[in-house]
Amino acid sequence: MENLVNDRAMPFDSGRPPQPYAIDCSDTAVDPMPDSRTRTSSGLSDKALARTVAYIRDHLFDSLSLGDLARIACVSRFHFARMFRARTGFSPMKYVQNERIRTAKQLLRRGEGNISSIAAALGFFDQSHFSRVFRKVTGISPGRYAQGLARDTDST
């Protein structure tokens, strides 16, 4: 698991608040003109969305709040939640959850860590919470997912 974390230059168990992030709010996060090429009429600007998604990926092992993400996008929490959903089809926290499950799948594929350590590293309350969310998103439990991968590699 540390390999993935080290690839991203992040400590495995940070135990620290997210580090300051360079935020340039000089470009407006909201679409001021419906015909703008870089923005949609109901969502975040391309720059604000890219900045937010990069922040999520860079801080996936940290605690993330709606307020943190809205600050990165340079808009209020209320507007951010609405505009993020308009651009991605997901609420901000559902997007974070899906990214955490995607990362958990990578860690399980690599055999890095056990389920409880992956759950803790990715900010789930406990292994049970992680397993419920993982099953809801993927349709299979994390244990079965890891076992299936192990069987696939054993047969090749």
Q: What fold, for 96-154?
A: Arc Repressor Mutant, subunit A (1.10.10)
Confidence of residue 141 (pLDDT cuts 50, 70, 90): very high
pLDDT over 60 (residue 23): yes
The residue among 56, 143, 76, 66 whose CA lies nearest residue 105 is 143
Q: What fold, for 2-90?
A: Arc Repressor Mutant, subunit A (1.10.10)
- CATH 1.10.10.60 residue ranges for the chain: 96-154
Q: Which two tokens stand for residue 79?
A: 């507007």
pTM: 0.73
Element (H, E) at 156: none
State residue 43's pLDDT score: 80
